[in-house]
Structure 1
Amino acid sequence: MRKLLNSLWLLLFMLPISFFAQNVVSGVVTESATGLPVPGVNVVVQGTSNGTTTDFDGNYTIEDVAEGDVLAFSFLGFATEEIPYEGQSTLDVQLEEDQATLDEVVLIGYGATTEQDATGAVEKISPDEFNQGAVVSPEQLISGKSAGVRITSSGGAPGGGGEIRIRGGSSLSGNNSPLIVVDGIPLDQRGVQGVRNQLNSINPNEIEDFVVLKDAAATSIYGSRASNGVILITTKSGKKNADLRIDYDIKASVGSNTNKIDNLNAEQFRNLIQNEPGTDPSLLGNNNTDWQDQIYQTSVGTINNLTVTQGFDNFTYRVNYNHTRQTGVLKTDLYERNALNIALNQDLFDNSLKLSLTSKGIIDANDFADEGAIGAAVAFDPTQPVYDNSLPFGGFYEFSRVNSEGEIVPLNQATRNPLALLLQNDAEGETKRNITNFNVEYRFPFLKELKFNANAGFDYAENEGHNRRPFNSAAVTNVEAPYEEVYSGINRNVLLDFYFNYKDEVEALDTEIDLTAGHSYQEFFIENRTRSNPNDNITETFDVNRNSLESYFARASFDIANKYLLSASYRRDGSSRFSEDNRWSSFPSASIGWKIHEENFLRDSGILNQLKLRAGYGVTGNQEIGPNYGYAGIYTPSISGAQYQFGNQFYNTLRPEEFDQNLKWEELQTFNAGIDFGFLDNRLSGSVDGYYRETKDLLATVPVPAGANLSDLLVTNVGETVSKGIEVALNGSLVRSENFNWDVNYNITFQDLEITTLSLGNDPNFFIPQGGISGGVGNNIQLWKAGYDPTTFFVFRQVYNEAGQPIEGAYVDVNGDNEINEADKQPYKKASPDYFMGFTNTINYKNFDFSFTFRGSFGNYVYNNAQSSNGFITAGTVTPQDYYANLNANVLESNFQNSQFFSDYYIRSADFVKLDNISLGYFIPGNKIDVRASLTATNVLTITEYEGLDPEIPNGIDNNFYPRSRSFVLGFNFQFK
């Protein structure tokens, strides 16, 4: 009986415990498309902290689960699954691919589409793909990130810009840069006066994303300005229903020069002068001066960003203040930016009316170093001192003589002291700029599918500055008075455009339609004034430049059965830059797409989740020709130093300018075909594009016969070019897990550009010299000629002896006439690459992140003008006056006595691979503040056989190049909750 009572008591005691007992659930998580296990999936009892993750085989076990609980399964790249628990002990789950990536909105100009519905060559680059570090110029963020896009910095100057080329450019004398559209405002492609780079007005920290439009099907909606591609920049704005957030980001950087021109040192120079017949060693000094060491320094910089943002149900704001200060590796060079960025968004009338305001106020300040010091440091006698207080040149040594009046004056044609060129130069400029855009979007309540969008904006800049040198500077021609130049200017760009957009689904046809039609007007105004006193004569100039563009545009897109895509656009542009007969032109485009992955035979393939074919054709234009009134006969007033005297009165004259009344814009026709693909839930994705482009009515500055016009050079339509290429972009997620992720991006571009026609007549040998070089007067090393790339070099073919040494003055007699003359010059090699690539790795492990980017360029050549201009004996020993100039160390190899400017000996392969950027970061979460620390290095490593300063030269001519520094950046980001 006792045993029975004890058993009943135990049963009664266990009853409430069993009532509240919690269960254990286990299972396997797999990919629905492939059936493969997914490691690292978060498994959480919704609303609690109770959770676990799947192991390498996708297995999980979670305890303390009660009936009625909801289990949430989540992982990056997959849609979250939420499954109610109903008492089962085993629960296997299949995760579906998250279509958010494919459905991500992508801007395409006057509208948007999704990535999977785009029919043109369009690429979106987001912040997690940006290059890291102390980035001042926005284009540096995407260098090496996009197939077909090559970005080459102009040099190492602080705040300096870069040359952006999409598919190699299409023009000769016209602008080859893409159209940049910032928050809906197309910027003036000519730039802004007084700044190193007009894109510096866009704070890189505030950029939400870049969208690159490459082919005509994507760009023709911008018509007459889209031949070289379009880049859409969207800046950040506040997020709805977001708590107040304050971010502070600081980056500090140091940089140093990694390479110098290889010149003779003082000992080598003395030996050369002493052993050279006819020289006077007494002209040498007793010093050992490395002039390049004298002009370069360690650069330092800081970038500060303070951001406040908050979002409510119908109103958001974001305010950012940026201060950037960066010195150059060239002494006295300084860039400083103070910028305030504001983004306001207001929704009204139940979200039918959306108002958006973005405004960027910038003060861009520069201390400009005299970059002539770079060439002077290469040429100045290394045996001379830096300072000499016995000379009347502000304490600096200068080459000088005593004139007939017993005064010490500088030698007129001698090289100036490089350090004095920097320290005695006072060159400052300041630009105040504001870019503001106000956007109104209204969705009609009686027709929800129809919306109206209006965009009003302006880009206004005022600049002022001066260049001054003291009277005791040897660089001033008139030593009795200081030199001063004062300048100011205005840039104004105003825009007003609007369009209607209608989107709807026609169920009877199983078709989604997207229709857009609108109008745009934009006006550009430039004014500049300059006052200077060269040779103690005051000169004043004043210039006004104005042009406008009016446009009508439309686009229609159709998505049939979520499989077949059709899109067409049309733009009609009228430009004041052309006469009434040529003022208006039309720019149509059409493109198609086929989403093969939506077909029944592939929809459930289990491996392929995206496969789309694209093809398109379009016409675009280029109106950036230089002169605004090249079609009209205009007159230019003379400056004060060129007046005509009648008696005691001086009168300004009027000079007629050259013109071509039939001038019109370039027209570019592009054919593009592409394929987009994704495998294994987009673990491997990418695209391949091929294009063919023809530019007609090519604009170029060409020589004309004497008397044929009012000048011997004329901007006119003169030729055609053909370019073609293949672009491949690959993205791979090598590892996906909770604690470790590894993503790879690789892109490669093959390109070819050829001038097919270039002549006002039928002369097959006609060519236009290009590519001015240092050395001599008016020498050019490149040419434009039918059948060749526009960057092709034009040289003699050097003859070598049995030991491989170049024989001075010995060139190949190409035409066999036993004479070496201009007829024996040949087009040879080119500066543009045959192909280039980018390779980026991004690795995340727990709270650590690590990334690096390589870039490579192949098949491109550089003319080493640093060697050719100073690489022969008489360059330093035969001077008009009593001084000697230093020589390039290559003279010890070539043994050239005299100049060999046009020898192909100086054309060198400039293939390179660069480790551009490497970054390590660590994230420290907190209750009230999150902190991310980072360390970044830029311009880390260059692998090349090129002997010069840098193989990456924008125009292919290496001379007086501002060296790019290697920099190290320490950064901290604080997010206050």
Structure 2
Amino acid sequence: MLTAMAFPLAYAGPNVVLHKPRSEQTAVADKPVSGKVLSKEDNTPVPGVTVVVKGTTNGTTTDVDGKYQINVPESNAVLVFSAVGFATQEKPVGNESIMDIILSTDQKTLEEVVVVGYGTLKKRDLTGAVSQISATKLENENPQSVQDVLRGNIPGMNVGFSASAKGGGNVSVRGTNSLKAGTSPLVVLDGAIYYGGLEDINPNDIETVDVLKDASSAAVFGAKAASGVILVTTKKGKEGKTIINVNTNFGVAEVAKNQPVLSPDGFVTWRQEVMRNINTAAQPSRFTNPAQLPSDVTLEQWLAFDGSAGDPTTVWLQRLGMQPVEIQNYKNGKSVDWYSKMFQKALRQDHTVSLSGKTDKVSYYMSLGYLNNEGIVVGDKYSTVRARLNLEGKVNKFLSVGINTQFADRDESQVPVNYELAANLSPWGSEFNPDGTYKWRPNEEASGGNHPYFAPSFTDRDKGSVTINAVVFAKIALPFGISYQANFTPRYEYYHRYNAESARHAEWAAEGGRASRRDTRTMSWQIDNIFKWNKTLAEKHNIDATFLVNAEKFRMWDDSVSNKGFAPTDVLGYHNMAAGNAPIMWTNDEESTADALMGRLFYSFKDRYMVTLSTRRDGYSAFGQKNPRALFSSAALGWVFTDEPFFKSSWLSYGKFRVSYGSNGNRDIARYDALSNLITGKYLHINPGGTVYQTSQLYVGRMQNANLKWERTNSLNFGLDFSLFNNVVDGSVELYKSSTRDLLVERALPNVLGFDFVLDNLGQVDNKGLEISLNSNNMKRENFTWRSTLNFQMNRNKIVHLYGDKTVTKDASGNVVSEREADDITNRWFIGHAIDEIWNYKVLGVWQTEEADAAAKYGVKPGDHKILDVNNDGKYTNDDKVFQGFTSPRARITFRNEFRVIKNFDVSFMVYSYLGQKGEFNQMKNRQGFPDRSSSYIFPYWTAENRNNEWARLYSSEGSATGYSVYQSKSFVRFESLAVAYTIPKNLTQKINIQNLRVYGNIRNIGYLSSWSFWDPENGTNNSNNTNIATSVPSPRIFTMGLDITL
């Protein structure tokens, strides 16, 4: 019957499909078209070229050999060939079945679009200092944070290093420009200011990161941009069929470089030296092992040194200050390697699945990611679930609406062990009690020397946060090149930290256990109304104007309760806070508002001469009532001099000069710092009758300042962009100087006022620096390509003014000889010097045996450090302290290389170096502050028989140079990463319906070269002159293997 009805049958699994008969003209099957895409410049294959049938979503990409194959439905179809760096080309199919294509380099395409704040510009049109990094450039290296994306890749940016499971690190741009206010750059996410944590942004969602470094580029963000701006743009759907991507990887982290520690026997030998230096008047062999006595000392004489009797080994170890448990374990040969128990092989995993696509009506991108990392310190763990939805729909030809939403759920509940406690533990102590539980004090001292695992084993913690960040927007296209966009950006965060410390812990037992709960809810919103006008007149005049009206509000509710003395038991911990007998409740609610008006005008003539003008007026409720608002403006010029008719060069392909000047502000202070605050308390009152009772009190705790205002940074930037040898080499040079005035500092007040200080605008800090970025295409062959990037940066800062107080020098007659602005010795801030410049006593070396008499004048002995006495008065005062280096690097260099080898292999590695910085390393003083146990690390020390001129004797003396420090170079060269990826050939993957399959592996923090004597020289590096080595921690070396699958 079906045949009679002229419906042909087709069998497809269990279904019968009926096909309408096609005419002879329409029944022609899709025909395959194949070919190869080559580069015009060097005739080499171009991989990754998108090939699409025009007007459809039917498309493919070229493989590593530049080859493609695609089915086209009809002979009059047109194929569109497009690739980054090449001009798009269209070619009709006609009757051809093999089509080889030659693509030409497209200069305009090479000048990629850069995000500049409330808009975009071609790189060619930039007049300010802007750097960009594409996340796809680092995909083989598996960045797990925004900091990983930025580290070493942006000249002028310093990205700190974190050794924790959470990762990340502090970020700064072009040095430190404030003494007290925060100096972190502003973060803008998908066009809206972002106040969340960088850890909530999944690097797999990032398309590009642009960094605005000069005042002209950042001025559109006004009072928030003095420390630079980081603009993060996330992925959007792309035209073509729906793409499903899965990126999954597993890894392991280990301590990159172990710090040598004493062996059990080495610990005993070290104790002998310590005791000899403590008891210098004792007999030389008093602390010698009785089994190794010199020939002129008998065992009886040795015992008689202090009238001891009994087992000689016991006597000897007692003289060394060892506890009974240590003595027993020593005799039994039972020791503990504490450091092997502090660190672990840490497992890591990171998985992200995304779905994206775009039609003529809707663009969508959605992702879900899960990260779970262990740290190298036992007990350190971090996990997070991150999700994103970017959706935009075209309602009609002039209106589109959308939403960009980000969700993150972080868990930081684990309690890591305090590995620094291991330095005070003897290898002859006991790790466990007889019942198998952890021993509170393995050395059995009366105080100190706690087991690193003990407190965590009695601590129950629930810590984490949930954040939701969204940008809801609508875009309206108006006549005459005018457009309007409205953004509403709500953000919600819930943070909690619940902690319980069990009464089963010996130190907490007397309190009956302790518990606390803290809940913080944050709600904020912003509204941006953005008007734009973009117009080209007479094909020569390009105008791009932007106007912004902004309003924002922040609210926080912070509630905390703690209790102790839980009865009858504290087993429920923070789940039963009412069971304690000493409750303390604390609340803190905060609110702030802000608004802004901004205008920016960009104009270019013939794409050769550019000018950018901008101004922004900001208001913020945290500042004084007399200065709630401030105006920030900028101007910038650009000149593409290589486009001039008179300019002819065979080697300079492109050149542009830039100059900019402008001002930005810093509003990073607490929300009520300009106001007085009221503090409540209790005190005991005794009435005339002698009765004592508790009375409540309320008093003013801080002086208000109605004149408090923004810090203001004025910045001048000169830039040169260039491209050499037909775009083989390109780069930029930036030279800048900035001056930050009206610094937000705490000004000391006379005691008679009843306040210690008031926050005020005083002082000035200047910064200047140089940045160089070079990119080169070193080699491009059919089976081998090689690209390199070199970044260099240096920054110098100087304190120009502080509080305005004067230091007067008078002669013997009382006449004023000189007058200068006073320094702040307490904070070690000095006029004319850098914020991070070290000012302290200078260590010249170590007093040697033949210098005993000279050392005695300063109250020290041979083996103690020799300190410079500037005025040779035989004593040490502040007059003897000198400037001797800096704690921040004087220069930073990054060298990155990328290779494509044998078509399908991608290899990259990065090396970076910090040069010229010093760190405080007081272990070189060998002052055992805890005489019985101080350090299990192997460090050199001076003896009369084994001299050196750097390390002091054990248990050395400071003499009158109290508080001096020893500084070591922290310069280093770090082999940061090595990544290898292999892309499976498409002729194999397409058989299983996989568009792209890439296998990758990488190593991060391979190793470093440095003369620094402790853990990683980059960890603990900061701008403080009081760096403590306890903040310097071991760093992880991370091995990762993963798959990137595109369906």
CA distance in 1, matches of 2:774, 2:632: 32
Deviation string, structure 1 residues 818-842 (Cα, Å, up to 9, x no partner): 3212332223211111110111111
- Give the alignment partner of residue 910 of structure 1, picking from 963, 970, 992: 970
Contact 2:36–2:45 (Cα < 8 Å) also in 1: no
CA distance in 2, matches of 1:427, 1:814: 53
Relative to 1, partners in 2 of residues 1:183 and 1:835: Cα closer, same or farther, differing over 3 Å?
Answer: same
Q: Where does residue 255 of structure 1 map in the other structure?
A: 253
Contact 1:796–1:902 (Cα < 8 Å) also in 2: no
Establish whether residue 294 from structure 1 lines up as the match of residue 326 from structure 2.
Answer: no
Give 1:690 shift.
0.2
Deviation string, structure 1 residues 113-140 (Cα, Å, up to 9, x no partner): 1100010001121123337445332111
Deviation string, structure 1 residues 844-878 (Cα, Å, up to 9, x no partner): 1311111111111101111125x26xx5354231x
Contact 2:680–2:696 (Cα < 8 Å) also in 1: no
Aligned to 1:288, what secondary structure does the other structure show?
coil
Relative to 1, partners in 2 of residues 1:288 and 1:792: Cα closer, same or farther, differing over 3 Å?
Answer: farther
Q: Give the TM-score of the pair, scaled to structure 2.
A: 0.78
Q: Where does residue 552 of structure 2 map in the other structure?
A: 522
Establish whether residue 665 from structure 1 lines up as the match of residue 722 from structure 2.
Answer: no
Relative to 1, partners in 2 of residues 1:75 and 1:111: Cα closer, same or farther, differing over 3 Å?
Answer: closer
CA distance in 2, matches of 1:361, 1:70: 42
Establish whether residue 886 from structure 1 lines up as the match of residue 939 from structure 2.
Answer: no
CA distance in 2, matches of 1:642, 1:473: 32
Relative to 1, partners in 2 of residues 1:170 and 1:709: Cα closer, same or farther, differing over 3 Å?
Answer: farther
Q: Where does residue 175 of structure 2 map in the other structure?
A: 168
Following superposition of structure 1 onto structure 2, how do residues 742-781 of structure 1 map, counting pairs within 5 Å? 742-763=786-807, 764=820, 766-768=822-824
Q: Where does residue 194 of structure 1 map in the other structure?
A: none
Give 1:38 shift.
4.1
Q: Where does residue 502 of structure 2 map in the other structure?
A: 470
CA distance in 1, matches of 2:777, 2:416: 48
Q: Where does residue 206 of structure 2 map in the other structure?
A: 207
Q: Where does residue 429 of structure 1 map in the other structure?
A: 463
- Range with bigger deviation, 920-929 or 378-387: 378-387
Q: Where does residue 954 of structure 1 map in the other structure?
A: 1021
- Give the alignment partner of residue 918 of structure 2, picking from 861, 876, 892: 861
State the AA in 2 paired with 1:612.
K
Relative to 1, partners in 2 of residues 1:714 and 1:387: Cα closer, same or farther, differing over 3 Å?
Answer: farther
Following superposition of structure 1 onto structure 2, how do residues 673-688 of structure 1 map, counting pairs within 5 Å? 673-688=718-733
Relative to 1, partners in 2 of residues 1:803 and 1:933: Cα closer, same or farther, differing over 3 Å?
Answer: farther
Aligned to 1:130, what secondary structure does the other structure show?
helix
Aligned to 1:919, what secondary structure does the other structure show?
strand
Establish whether residue 159 from structure 1 lines up as the match of residue 216 from structure 2.
Answer: no
State the AA in 1 paired with 2:171.
I
Q: Where does residue 396 of structure 1 map in the other structure?
A: 439
Establish whether residue 482 from structure 1 lines up as the match of residue 513 from structure 2.
Answer: yes
Aligned to 2:106, what secondary structure does the other structure show?
coil
CA distance in 1, matches of 2:684, 2:380: 38
CA distance in 2, matches of 1:820, 1:369: 44
Relative to 1, partners in 2 of residues 1:645 and 1:305: Cα closer, same or farther, differing over 3 Å?
Answer: farther
State the AA in 2 paired with 1:568.
L
Deviation string, structure 1 residues 272-313 (Cα, Å, up to 9, x no partner): 434515555342613533322222111111111111222211
Aligned to 2:763, what secondary structure does the other structure show?
strand
Following superposition of structure 1 onto structure 2, how do residues 400-415 of structure 1 map, counting pairs within 5 Å? 411=446, 413-415=447-449
Contact 1:430–1:464 (Cα < 8 Å) also in 2: yes
Contact 1:41–1:737 (Cα < 8 Å) also in 2: no
Give 1:81 shift.
6.0
Give 1:422 shift.
3.3
Aligned to 2:184, what secondary structure does the other structure show?
coil
CA distance in 1, matches of 2:828, 2:1021: 16
Contact 1:873–1:887 (Cα < 8 Å) also in 2: no
Relative to 1, partners in 2 of residues 1:642 and 1:545: Cα closer, same or farther, differing over 3 Å?
Answer: farther
Q: Where does residue 833 of structure 2 map in the other structure?
A: 788
Deviation string, structure 1 residues 85-137 (Cα, Å, up to 9, x no partner): 999xxx99996431343443211111221100010001121123337445332
Establish whether residue 439 from structure 1 lines up as the match of residue 439 from structure 2.
Answer: no
Give 1:618 shift.
0.5
Contact 1:399–1:414 (Cα < 8 Å) also in 2: no
Contact 2:863–2:956 (Cα < 8 Å) also in 1: no
Aligned to 2:674, what secondary structure does the other structure show?
coil
Give 1:672 shift.
0.1
Relative to 1, partners in 2 of residues 1:527 and 1:792: Cα closer, same or farther, differing over 3 Å?
Answer: farther
Establish whether residue 532 from structure 1 lines up as the match of residue 578 from structure 2.
Answer: no
CA distance in 1, matches of 2:497, 2:244: 36
CA distance in 2, matches of 1:475, 1:338: 37
Relative to 1, partners in 2 of residues 1:691 and 1:791: Cα closer, same or farther, differing over 3 Å?
Answer: same
Task: Compute the RMSD of aligned alpha carbons.
Answer: 3.6
State the AA in 2 paired with 1:481.
G
- Give the alignment partner of residue 146 of structure 1, picking from 150, 154, 179: 154
Deviation string, structure 1 residues 574-633 (Cα, Å, up to 9, x no partner): 11111221111110000000011222234x7564332111000010011112x3222222
Q: Where does residue 736 of structure 1 map in the other structure?
A: 780
Q: Where does residue 374 of structure 1 map in the other structure?
A: 419
Relative to 1, partners in 2 of residues 1:528 and 1:161: Cα closer, same or farther, differing over 3 Å?
Answer: farther
Establish whether residue 494 from structure 1 lines up as the match of residue 525 from structure 2.
Answer: yes
Following superposition of structure 1 onto structure 2, how do residues 426-825 of structure 1 map, counting pairs within 5 Å? 426-444=460-478, 447-476=479-508, 478-479=509-510, 481-507=512-538, 510-533=540-563, 537-602=582-647, 605=649, 607-625=651-669, 627-638=670-681, 651=696, 653-708=698-753, 710-711=755-756, 713-763=757-807, 764=820, 766-768=822-824, 783-801=828-846, 807-808=863-864, 810-825=866-881
Contact 2:1016–2:1034 (Cα < 8 Å) also in 1: yes
CA distance in 1, matches of 2:76, 2:520: 72
Establish whether residue 237 from structure 1 lines up as the match of residue 236 from structure 2.
Answer: yes
Contact 1:719–1:757 (Cα < 8 Å) also in 2: yes
CA distance in 2, matches of 1:26, 1:767: 71
Contact 1:41–1:73 (Cα < 8 Å) also in 2: no
Deviation string, structure 1 residues 863-899 (Cα, Å, up to 9, x no partner): 125x26xx5354231xxxxx54435533624214246
Aligned to 2:219, what secondary structure does the other structure show?
helix
State the AA in 1 paired with 2:929.
A
Aligned to 1:158, what secondary structure does the other structure show?
coil
Q: Where does residue 970 of structure 1 map in the other structure?
A: 1041
Q: How many residues align?
A: 882
State the AA in 1 paired with 2:512.
A
Deviation string, structure 1 residues 786-813 (Cα, Å, up to 9, x no partner): 1222122222112335879985253211
Contact 1:797–1:903 (Cα < 8 Å) also in 2: no
Establish whether residue 872 from structure 1 lines up as the match of residue 926 from structure 2.
Answer: yes
- Range with bigger deviation, 381-390 or 109-118: 381-390
- Give the alignment partner of residue 897 of structure 1, picking from 923, 946, 955: 955
Contact 2:383–2:412 (Cα < 8 Å) also in 1: yes
Aligned to 1:367, what secondary structure does the other structure show?
coil
CA distance in 1, matches of 2:323, 2:927: 16
Relative to 1, partners in 2 of residues 1:313 and 1:528: Cα closer, same or farther, differing over 3 Å?
Answer: same
Give 1:331 shift.
1.3
State the AA in 2 paired with 1:459.
R
Give 1:423 shift.
3.0
Larger Cα-atom Rg: 2
Give 1:448 shift.
3.7
State the AA in 2 paired with 1:592.
L
Contact 2:847–2:864 (Cα < 8 Å) also in 1: no
State the AA in 2 paired with 1:825.
K
Give 1:426 shift.
2.5
Contact 2:160–2:170 (Cα < 8 Å) also in 1: yes
Contact 1:40–1:53 (Cα < 8 Å) also in 2: no
Aligned to 1:600, what secondary structure does the other structure show?
coil
Give 1:218 shift.
0.3
Establish whether residue 342 from structure 1 lines up as the match of residue 342 from structure 2.
Answer: no
Give 1:156 shift.
1.0
CA distance in 2, matches of 1:622, 1:221: 13
Q: Give the TM-score of the pair, scaled to structure 1.
A: 0.84
CA distance in 1, matches of 2:962, 2:599: 52
Q: Where does residue 420 of structure 1 map in the other structure?
A: 454
- Range with bigger deviation, 604-613 or 480-489: 604-613
Relative to 1, partners in 2 of residues 1:738 and 1:585: Cα closer, same or farther, differing over 3 Å?
Answer: same
Relative to 1, partners in 2 of residues 1:731 and 1:809: Cα closer, same or farther, differing over 3 Å?
Answer: closer
**Structure 2: 5+ residue stretches without partners:** 1-34, 67-74, 280-318, 566-580, 808-819, 852-861, 942-950
State the AA in 2 paired with 1:917.
S
